[in-house]
Amino acid sequence: MSSDTAMAQVDGFVGAVSHTFESDQLIRDDLSRYAVDGMEPRLCVEPITTSQIQAALVEAQNQHLAVVAVGGAHHLGAGNIPSAYDLALSLARLGRIVEHEPADMTVTVETGVQLDTLNAQLAQHGQFLPLDPPCGASATVGGVLAANTSGPRRHAFGTARDWLIGTRVVHPDGTVSKSGGRVVKNVTGYDMHKLYVGSLGTLGVIAEATFKLAPLPRAQWTLAAAFESAQAACVFVLTAHDAGMALHAAEVLSPAAAQAAAGAPHWLVLARVAGGPDAVERSLRDMRRLAGGAVTDLSDGDALWQAWSREFRPKSLSLRASVLPSSVAETMGALERALSDAGARLSATVASGVVRLQSDSQGEGAAEFVEGVTQIVAKRGGSLIVDAAPPRFKQQVDVFGPARADLAIMRRLKDQLDPQRTLAPGRFMGRL
């Protein structure tokens, strides 16, 4: 599509929706903040209602404009390079808490709400949504769902998919579909709302989401324990987990990662112990005895967890491997031996089998680096996803890895839900 044709289509879009949107909701300036892999949109739309999302998507489809939904802009480096990008659909103004039922421990929100804002409101009722993406608490609910990102709390709480119980989704033709409900117990059937988690906005725009909630712990403590090897660190975490200790989060850091996040060049376990005061005290006592050597207790470990988040948010090259929990130690050890000279930093949520890797490799070096990591992970029966990478690398490689057996199913879903390829075309696996 030529530049003149694209601008004419954008002008046509603006003319068609001008009666629906205020002028300050149609943004033409400073669009670099919405860039995806170096591609900037020609216009950003900021709806404030679901009906405005519908209007924007319908007219974008009419004008053959490619749309990327944007939340807090933390995950714009995720996925493949879009094959086209004309319109940014920012959900930043859709930040209301629609309904909170403290007695049922559920909440319904617009997906532009930030996690820190949401949890500050929930804390007044002694509840929280236990999601902690590496990009930090300023991430929006919609962004966390679209990227299905998770952090150290995954050890105890799983991912966003485990807490989501309902959605309202707007499709490119303007229709709105609902799945699940606003109570934890729903009628039997397909959990269609979970289909959109991790789809990077390629199947629909999630306008509202309903979650079950967890009670805020009455006490919490952070423990940092140093070990001589990945094996010793991982055994410590798994033993504590299997013993039922009150672990709300646990990460094993390589020496390079520990140095960057905590100033301690050792294999390091960061553990958040939380729950009732007696359970926390008992778990800390047992974990200190289990760790044996160098243990540091922090009554307020927020600064340390924030340092971890800064270090492992998506950067120039961010990788995420999935292996069996029993293979995490071997995988981390092999990666450390092979890549330590390249400055790789590793962090693992051991009980979930997730190993994160950060590197500063660029250009052609990135391709060689990722190939080396892929081989190491594959030898341990695992798979690898590239969470962020230089555009030059993405032009050559599908960041989701080799085509999977379920690609045909995903292609049929894309054909059914977005036949004109309006939503983030090319960004999902198989460049759908």
Identify which of 204, 195, 210 has the alpha carbon closest to the alpha carbon of residue 172: 204
Q: Strands (DSSP E) along 66-218, which ranges?
A: 67-70, 87-90, 97-101, 106-110, 127-128, 164-170, 176-180, 205-212, 214-215
Whether residue 85 is found in the same domain as residue 115 = no
Q: 351 to each of 9, 86, 88, 276, how far by Cα in Å?
A: 50, 41, 37, 22
Whether 103 maps to a domain, the answer reads yes
Whether residue 206 is found in the same domain as residue 257 = no
What's the CATH code of the domain at 29? 3.30.465.10
What pLDDT, in 10s, does the model give residues 229-269? 999 999 999 999 999 999 999 999 999 999 999 888 889 99
DSSP-assigned beta bridge partners for residue 176: 170
Whether residue 286 is found in the same domain as residue 378 = yes
pLDDT over 70 (residue 94): yes
pLDDT over 90 (residue 135): no
Task: Output the six-digit token pair for 90.
Answer: 């920012």
Count CA atoms closer than 13 A to 199's CA, side-chain side. 25
Whether residue 204 is found in the same domain as residue 236 = no
Confidence at residue 22, expressed as pLDDT on a 0 to 100 scale: 94
Mapped onto helix, strand or coil, the DSSP state of residue 111 is coil
Whether 405 maps to a domain, the answer reads no
Q: Distance between CA atoms of 338 and 336, rounded to whole angstroms?
A: 6
Q: Are 413 and 199 in contact (CB under 8 A)?
A: no
Kindly give, in sequence order, each residue whose CB lies less than 8 Å from that of residue 8, ignoring residues fewer than 6 positions away. Answer: none
- Total domains present in the chain: 3
Whether residue 227 is found in the same domain as residue 374 = yes
Confidence of residue 297 (pLDDT cuts 50, 70, 90): low
What is the edge-to-edge ordering of all strands in the sheet holding 106-110? 97-101, 106-110, 205-212, 164-170, 176-180
Answering whether pTM is above 0.95, one says no
Whether residue 146 is found in the same domain as residue 67 = no
Q: Distance between CA atoms of 428 and 79, rounded to whole angstroms?
A: 6
**Residue 333, Cβ neighbours under 10 Å: how many?**
18
Q: Which of 185, 215, 245 is the last residue of a domain?
A: 215
Whether residue 320 is found in the same domain as residue 236 = yes
Least confidently predicted of 26-30, 207-211, 314-318, 344-348: 314-318
| Average of per-residue pLDDT values in the chain | 91
Task: Output the six-digit token pair for 411.
Answer: 């292609």
Q: Are 46 and 25 in contact (CB under 8 A)?
A: yes
pLDDT over 70 (residue 330): yes
Whether residue 249 is found in the same domain as residue 341 = yes
Whether 64 maps to a domain, the answer reads yes
Whether 255 maps to a domain, the answer reads yes
The DSSP code for 216 is P
Kindly give, in sequence order, each residue whose CB lies less than 8 Å from that of residue 5, ignoring residues fewer than 6 positions away. Answer: none
Whether residue 221 is found in the same domain as residue 130 = no
Q: Which of 165, 192, 215 is the last residue of a domain?
A: 215
Whether residue 129 is found in the same domain as residue 275 = no
The DSSP code for 45 is E
What pLDDT, in 10s, does the model give residues 332-362? 999 999 987 778 999 999 999 999 999 987 6
Q: Which residue has the higher pLDDT, 191 or 204?
A: 204
**Widest Cα–Cα separation across the chain:** 69
Q: Tell me what the mean pLDDT of segment 172-195 comes to.
A: 76
Confidence of residue 188 (pLDDT cuts 50, 70, 90): very low
Q: Distance between CA atoms of 92 and 53, rounded to whole angstroms?
A: 12
Whether residue 183 is found in the same domain as residue 250 = no
Domain span including residue 290: 217-390
Confidence at residue 293, expressed as pLDDT on a 0 to 100 scale: 66
Whether residue 61 is found in the same domain as residue 113 = no
Q: Tell me what the mean pLDDT of segment 102-126 comes to.
A: 97
Whether 76 maps to a domain, the answer reads yes
Q: Tell me what the mean pLDDT of segment 113-121 comes to.
A: 96
Mapped onto helix, strand or coil, the DSSP state of residue 222 is strand
pLDDT over 50 (residue 170): yes
Q: How far apart are the first and last CA of the chain?
A: 19
